[in-house]
Amino acid sequence: MMKILHLPGESVRGYSGKDVRDIISYFDPDLTITSNMIDFQRKKVKDDITCEFIDLDILDGLFEKTVGNEDLIVLTKEQCLSDIDLNGDKKTIIMTDLIEEDMDPITFDYQLTNTSIIDDLEEKCIDLRLFSTSIEAGKKPTCKGQTIYGLGTSENMGDVKVPCVLTGDMPHIETLDVSKVGISAVPGLGRKFSTLLERRGISSRDDLCACEPSDLLSCDGIGAYRSTKWISSAKAMEDQKVYRIQKDDLRAKHRIFIDIETDSLNPSIIWHIGIFDDDRGVYEYFLEKEPARRGRIIRRFVDHIEEIGGKDTVLLAWYGEKFDFYHLENFIDEHSPEKKSAWDDTDKIDFMKWVDDHAALPCRSSKLENVAMRIGYEPDLLGLDGGEVGKMYSEYMEDSKKELDWEKLKLYGKEDVMEMKYIYDRIEEAPMVYDLGDIKKVYRR
């Protein structure tokens, strides 16, 4: 698999060469592709890129490279299709700016343009993965049975995000808000506090790493937590390590990591529940293949929690407060009200919030998959997301003859649970640069 970063001109506008190096260092790609650059940007980026680099604006139509079991082809001119030279039965990765997505101004539907090249590519390529730098990252439109993975920038409320893809059977695309560079990459350190620190001569992560929490405690609005978290986070990013910032209050608990899969964000069914019982070291799951019996999985789950739980049991779910716990409670109210006390009597903690409170991590995303991978987790399955999986099950609900790949879906459901377990273990074993409890004692004085 190759890691390829797409860095368009609009994403580096207003950012220094040091900022660009920070983005590239974060992703550590095998190849960086640039596009829509003006001359001074092109020079700045070219000078600061240390990996192999392709500029789509000046590429003469075609670039070919073989890495491992993949042939990479960057195509910017349709007439160069005939020049493509493939090496046998390798997987072919096509990156192009030729296929675009247009919105119909009347119907507001999106349509792909210049799709005729797909037929030509499929004739040449046995195993094809197709990416478009002209389609927003995260979008995966299909045409003629072929998925086109968007690898363009995305903008939301003025924030520009740059994408990096890890190729393979099911490509994984990670995006990064380009404003999260330098000292602004530190979680919770927004524009207001960045400006405040800069006035004190702290303008980079290196500067922040050189500080002691006591150096920040005299600043308005910066207390024990922020000073400890920010300095530890800066060190985590620079050292590429995990650091604890306070004692592990889960160590003596009976930890059960949990993740649910639904048909949508406003679910009519919870069809998969995965749990990892950290006491027993066992992963278990509940799966509902018959949507009409949607209450059965809930009753089985509550019975199980009643059986294995106890006064020291705690359920841990990523973003659990707003999703997993919230929807499980609603479904238990509806389908298993007689067992509601087993649910009510079990402690529940949003694991995403717990991680934020207890650790400093070398990542700039709160997405579970990205956090886990940033600290060394190696997933068994890449390229699926909750929206896609929910859509697949929704279509199955409409037509149960449309059989699903249950093994892949079960693996997807397991992955999130095991990622949480992995993150907990890395935090539990991590060193502590500063103890938040000790800093609080100093701050109170």
% pLDDT > 90, the chain: 55
pLDDT at position 275, please?
97
The CA distance from 246 to 433, in Å, is 10
Q: Which amino acid is at 140?
A: K
pLDDT at position 411, please?
93
- pLDDT per position as a tens digit, 304-332: 999 998 889 999 999 999 999 999 999 99
What's 114's DSSP letter?
S
Average the pLDDT over 91-110 and give the result.
81
Q: What does residue 149 show for φ and ψ, rounded to 5 degrees?
A: -85, 125
Per the CB < 8 A criterion, the answer to whether 323 and 208 are in contact is no
Q: Which residues contact 335 (CB under 8 A, 6 or more apart)?
A: 294, 295, 298, 299
Average the pLDDT over 274-282 and give the result.
95
Measured between alpha carbons, how far is residue 379 from residues 127, 372, 404 in Å? 22, 9, 21
215 sits in the region (left: phi over 0; alpha: psi -120 to 50; else beta) called: alpha
What's 324's DSSP letter?
H
pLDDT at position 47, please?
76
Per the CB < 8 A criterion, the answer to whether 314 and 347 are in contact is yes
Domains and CATH numbers, the chain: 3-177 (3.60.21.10), 182-240 (1.10.150), 254-429 (3.30.420.10)
Q: Which amino acid is at 307?
A: E
pLDDT at position 421, please?
98
pLDDT at position 85, please?
78
- Confidence grade of residue 400 (pLDDT, cut at 50, 70, 90): confident
Q: Which amino acid is at 92?
A: T
pLDDT at position 326, please?
96
- Confidence grade of residue 157 (pLDDT, cut at 50, 70, 90): low
Radius of gyration over every alpha carbon of the chain, rounded to an integer in angstroms: 24
Query: Maximum Cα–Cα distance for the chain, whole Å?
Result: 75
- This prediction's pTM: 0.89
